[in-house]
């Protein structure tokens, strides 16, 4: 009888020992899978002319990183992706990722966005939170923080000239900003021929001729209060096509009181508006 009990004891010890080893083995496998590295594939350089760096070429993500990114990301529109997310020449491909209970193939770009196909629909997720920056090469761009090439006050009478290449044909293209008593004028020239003149009622007007995305330039318009403190800033990405200037979106930042927190801060909004720059009634939009 003792031999039978002893034998059963050995069997139970062996069973639980094997079960424990199996659990440990599964845990180790899961840890290995989470730590597995996905290496980026980089082709060419940035569309802005920026060269690839060693950091770009060595960019990688673990499976654990990818899980974190997917939790931090939200679905975005193509417009938001186009204007707010930089495109890098580096991508990480992930096969058979489990998303909403289905296997999908992810394409993760270094510009803080992920794309994939779900139910025959192209999905783009943007990772815009501060926590996202450690995982990507480039963060989402806040158009309200776009820097201008210079600042012009309403008291200045000088003419600002910006060299720009509208057609990619190396002709002498220029943007000019001129001040007069009635406002600030924007003038666009190509091959020494003026094709656009617009007057703005604002306190400063400037241009960023080296935007990070695909627009030709950013138009930056500012408004000041009686104490000459800027309370509103408008950034308009402008595109040159068919011998004219066009826009698709307007970014407006206004210094005011946050209704939720009661704190004074910069409040930003984006307005989709597809029109030529010459037809844009900015005053009407700002008065809404």
Q: Of 73-87, 171-185, 274-288, which range is least confident?
A: 73-87
As a whole-number percent, the residues of the chain with pLDDT over 70 amount to 79
Tell me the domain boundaries of the chain. 37-141, 145-286
Does pTM top 0.85 for this prediction?
Answer: no
Task: Report the C-alpha dihedral over residues 194, 198, 203, 207, rounded to 10 degrees.
Answer: -50
> For the segment 205-239, what is each residue's pLDDT rounded down to a tens digit?
999 888 877 788 999 999 988 888 888 999 999 99
How many other CB atoms are there within 10 angstroms of residue 76's CB atom?
Answer: 19
Confidence of residue 18 (pLDDT cuts 50, 70, 90): low
Q: Is 107 exposed, middle or buried (0-12, 13-18, 19+ CB in 10 A)?
A: middle
pLDDT at 128 over 50: yes
Contact 131, 79 (CB under 8 A): no
> For the segment 34-64, what is each residue's pLDDT rounded down to a tens digit?
568 999 999 988 766 678 899 999 999 999 9
pLDDT at 168 over 80: no
* 3-state DSSP assignment of residue 221: strand
Residue 21 CB partners (closer than 8 Å, separation 6+)? none
CA distance 68 to 82: 24
pLDDT at 14 over 80: no
Most confident of 3-12, 71-80, 240-249: 240-249
> For the segment 87-107, what is each residue's pLDDT rounded down to a tens digit?
899 999 999 999 888 999 999
pLDDT at 3 over 80: no
Confidence of residue 66 (pLDDT cuts 50, 70, 90): very high
């Amino acid at each position: 009888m003792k031999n039978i009990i002893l034998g059963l004891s050995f069997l139970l010890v062996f069973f639980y020992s094997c079960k424990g080893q199996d659990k440990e083995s599964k845990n180790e496998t899961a840890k290995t899978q989470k730590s597995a590295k996905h290496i980026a594939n980089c082709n060419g350089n940035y569309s802005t002319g920026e060269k690839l760096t060693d950091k770009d070429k060595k960019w990688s993500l673990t499976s654990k990183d990818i899980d974190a990114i997917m939790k931090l990301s939200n679905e975005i529109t193509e417009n938001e992706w186009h204007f707010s997310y930089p495109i890098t020449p580096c991508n990480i491909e992930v096969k058979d990722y489990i998303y909403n209970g289905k296997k999908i193939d992810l394409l993760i770009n270094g510009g803080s966005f992920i794309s994939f196909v779900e139910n025959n629909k192209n999905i783009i997720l943007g990772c815009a939170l501060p926590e996202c920056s450690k995982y990507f090469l480039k963060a989402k761009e806040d158009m309200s923080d776009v820097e201008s090439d210079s600042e012009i006050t309403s008291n200045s009478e000088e003419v600002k000239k910006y060299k720009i290449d509208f057609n990619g044909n190396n002709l002498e293209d220029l943007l000019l900003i001129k001040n007069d008593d009635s406002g600030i004028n924007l003038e666009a020239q190509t091959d020494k021929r003026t094709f656009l003149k617009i007057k703005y009622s604002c306190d400063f007007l400037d241009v960023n001729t080296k935007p990070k995305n695909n627009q030709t330039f950013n138009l930056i318009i500012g408004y000041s209060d009686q104490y000459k403190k800027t309370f509103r800033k408008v950034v308009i990405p402008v595109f040159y096509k068919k011998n004219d200037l066009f826009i698709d979106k307007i970014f407006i930042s206004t210094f005011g009181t946050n209704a939720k927190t009661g704190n004074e801060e910069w409040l930003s909004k984006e307005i989709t508006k597809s029109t030529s720059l010459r037809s844009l009634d900015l005053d009407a939009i700002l008065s809404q």
